[in-house]
């Protein structure tokens, strides 16, 4: 029997899709709302919440990798290995085809 892993990022996003008050709390103080949901929050990091609408879509660009070295760092290589481009520790990527995604 496999042990189910709790992913606080999924919990945050699922709740934000259905709970207007929680959405407001995330927008007002993202770090506090994320920490309360069990996300490890770095005090030196700024957390920004953007609300997508049918007429506004946000494209989040990954950090720029330095070109002078001519090759990826081990950490950057880990993020692209195995087809997981754009993933970073603590960042959850979702798609509407994800079977864990709530029906909208």
Per-residue pLDDT of the chain (104 residues; tens, 9 = 90+): 556 668 999 999 999 999 999 999 999 999 999 999 999 999 999 999 999 999 999 999 988 876 555 566 677 667 666 554 445 555 555 544 455 545 44
Cβ-proximal residues to 24 (8 Å cutoff; 6+ apart), any chain: none
Model pLDDT, residue 78? 72
Determine if residue 60 is left, alpha or beta; phi over 0 gives left, psi from -120 to 50 gives alpha, anything else beta: beta
Rounded CA separation 99/104 (Å): 12
The three-class DSSP label of residue 74 is: helix
pTM, full prediction: 0.56
Model pLDDT, residue 6? 80
Residue-wise DSSP of 40-58: ---TTS-------BTTB--
Angle subtended by helix axes 20-28 and 8-18, to nearest 10 = 120
Model pLDDT, residue 27? 96
Q: CA nearest 75: which of 25, 84, 45? A: 84
């Amino acid at each position: 029997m496999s042990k189910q892993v709790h992913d606080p990022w999924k919990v945050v996003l699922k709740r934000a899709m259905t709970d207007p008050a929680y959405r407001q709390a995330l927008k007002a103080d993202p770090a506090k709302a994320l920490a309360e949901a069990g996300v490890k929050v770095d005090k030196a990091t700024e957390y920004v919440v953007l609300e997508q609408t049918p007429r506004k879509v946000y494209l989040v660009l990954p950090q720029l990798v330095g070109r002078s070295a001519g090759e990826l760092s081990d950490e950057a290589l880990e993020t692209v290995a195995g087809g997981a481009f754009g993933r970073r520790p603590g960042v959850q990527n979702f798609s509407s085809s994800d079977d864990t995604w709530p029906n909208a």
